[in-house]
Amino acid sequence: MRAVLAISANELRRVLRDRTAAFFVAVLPVVIIVVIGSTFGTGGSDLPVGVVDLDGTARSRELAEALDSSTAIDVSTYTDEGDLAADVRTRRVEAGVVLPAGYAEALDAGEPTAVRLLSDPTASGAVPVRSAVAGAVAAQGRVHAAAAFVAGRLGLDAAELVEVAEREADALAPVAVDVEQVGDDRRADLSPFSYTAPSNLVLFLFVNSIAVGAVLATDRASGITRRLLATPHPVSTIVAGVGLAKLTFALVQAGLILGVGALLFDVDWGDPAGAVLLTVTFAVVSTGVGLVVGSTARSTEGAQSVGVPVAIGMAMLGGCMWPLDVVPDPMRIAGHLVPHAWAMDGWRDLVLDGGGLGAVATELAVLAGFAAVALAAAVWRLRLALTA
Amino acid sequence: MLRGAALVAGLDLRRRVGDRSFLVTAVVGPVALALIISAAFSSIAGIDATIAVVDADRSGISSGFVGRITAGESGGDEGGDGVTFEGRASAEEAARAVDDGDVDAAIVVPAGFEASLSGGEAIALRVIADAERPIGGAIATAVAEGFADRVDAAALSVRTALAADEEAFDDVAHLTLAAQEVRSAAAVEDSGFSADFDAAAYFGPSMAILFLFLTVGAGARSLLAEQREGTLARLRSSPLPLAALLLGKAGAALVTGLVSLLVMWAVTQLVLGADWGDPVAVLALVVATVLAIAGIGALVTGLARTDAQAEGWTSVVTFTLALLGGNFVSPGALPGALRRLSLLTPNGWALRGFTELSAGHGGLADVVPALAVLLATAAVTGTAGVALLARRVA
**Per-residue pLDDT tens digits for B82-111:** 688 888 999 999 999 998 888 989 999 999
* Nearest-CA distance B29 → chain A (Å): 6
Do A384 and A296 form a contact (C-beta atoms < 8 A)? no
B59: left (phi over 0), alpha (psi -120 to 50) or beta: beta
Which of B36, B149, B160 is opposite residue A146, by nearest beta carbon? Answer: B160
- In chain B, the N- to C-terminal Cα span, in Å, equals 17
- Annotate B188-226 with DSSP letters as a single string: EEEEE-GGG--HHHHHHHHHHHHHHHHHHHHHHHHHHHH
Residue B78 predicted with pLDDT over 50: no
Chain B positions in Cβ-Cβ contact with residue A326 (cut-off 8 Å): 40-41, 44
Cβ within 8 Å, pair A19-B312: yes
**Nearest residue to B367 via CA among B283, B311, B295:** B283
3-state class percentages of chain B: helix first, strand second, coil last, to nearest 5: 70, 10, 25
Q: Which residues of B touch A144 (CB under 8 A)?
A: 185-186
Chain B, window 165-184: residues with a beta carbon less than 8 angstroms from a chain A beta carbon: 165, 168-169, 178-179, 182-184
Is ipTM strictly over 0.95? no
pLDDT in tens, chain A (388 residues): 788 888 778 777 777 777 666 777 777 777 777 776 666 544 445 678 999 999 999 989 999 998 988 877 888 999 998 888 888 877 778 889 999 999 999 888 778 888 999 887 666 677 778 888 888 898 899 999 999 899 888 888 888 888 899 898 888 888 888 888 876 556 666 777 788 889 889 998 998 888 888 888 888 888 877 777 778 888 788 888 888 988 998 998 899 889 988 888 888 898 999 999 999 999 999 999 999 998 888 887 778 777 887 888 899 899 888 788 777 788 889 999 999 999 999 999 898 888 889 889 999 999 999 999 999 998 898 888 777 6
Question: Is A311 in CB contact (< 8 Å) with chain B?
Answer: no
- Whether the Cβ atoms of residue B322 and residue B351 lie closer than 8 Å to each other: no
Hey, which residues 105-134 in chain B have their CB within 8 Å of chain A?
117, 121-122, 124-134
Q: Which residues of B279-294 are buried (b: 16+ CB within 10 A; e: fewer)?
A: eebbbbbbbbbbbbbb
Tens of pLDDT, residue by residue over B338-373, are 677 778 889 889 988 998 888 778 889 989 999 999
Q: Closest partner residue to B331 among A91, A143, A169, by Cβ?
A: A91
**Helix or strand or coil: residue B145?**
helix
Compute CA B220 distance to the chain's CA centroid, rounded to the nearest angstrom. Answer: 32
A302 to chain B, closest Cα gap in Å = 5
| A114·B315 Cβ contact <8 A | no
d(CA A258, CA B131): 23
Q: Do A301 and B151 touch (CB under 8 A)?
A: no
How much of chain B, in percent, has pLDDT values that exceed 70? 91
Residue in chain B closest to A48 (alpha carbons) equals B336
Given a contact cutoff of 8 angstroms between Cβ atoms, the answer to whether B255 and B339 are in contact is no
Say which residues have a Cβ less than 8 Å from residue B220's Cβ, sequence separation at least 6: B249, B253, B297, B298, B300, B301, B302, B310, B385, B389
CB–CB contact A141 B184 (8 Å): yes
Residue A62 CA to residue A49 CA, distance in Å, equals 17
Task: Check CB contact under 8 Å for B32 and A148.
Answer: no
Q: Is A187 on the interface with B (CB under 8 A)?
A: yes
E strand intervals along B65-223 = 83-88, 105-109, 125-129, 186-192
* pLDDT of B194 higher than 70: no
Return the number of CB contacts < 8 Å for A and B.
Answer: 323
| pLDDT reading at B195 higher than 70 | no
Confidence of residue B80 (pLDDT cuts 50, 70, 90): low
From chain B residues 22-41, the ones with a CB under 8 A of any chain A CB are: 22, 24-25, 29-30, 32-33, 36-37, 39-41
How many Å lie between the alpha carbon of B81 and the closest alpha carbon of chain A? 14
Cα(A89)–Cα(A85) distance, rounded to whole angstroms? Answer: 6
Each residue's pLDDT tens digit, B24-41: 777 788 888 888 877 777
Strand order of the sheet with strand A47-53? A73-78, A47-53, A95-99, A113-119, B186-192
Facing residue for A145 by CB, picked from B41, B183, B328: B183
Comparing CB atoms, the residue among B117, B124, B309 nearest residue A178 is B124
Given a cut of 70, is residue B43 above it in pLDDT?
A: no
Q: Where are the alpha helices (DSSP H) in B2-59?
A: 2-18, 20-23, 29-41
Nearest-CA residue of chain A relative to B29? A309
Read off the pLDDT of residues B255-288 as tens digits, 9 standing for 90 and up. Answer: 989 998 999 899 888 887 888 889 999 999 999 9
C-alpha closest to that of A142 among B42, B149, B92: B149
Whole-number Å distance between alpha carbons of A80 and A96:
11
Burial A89-109 (b: 16+ CB within 10 A, else e): bbbbbbbbbbbbeebbebbbe
Residue A66: partners with Cβ closer than 8 Å, 6 or more residues away: A136, A139, A140
Chain B residues whose CB is inside 8 A of the A299 CB are: 21
Gap from A211 CA to chain B (nearest CA, Å): 12
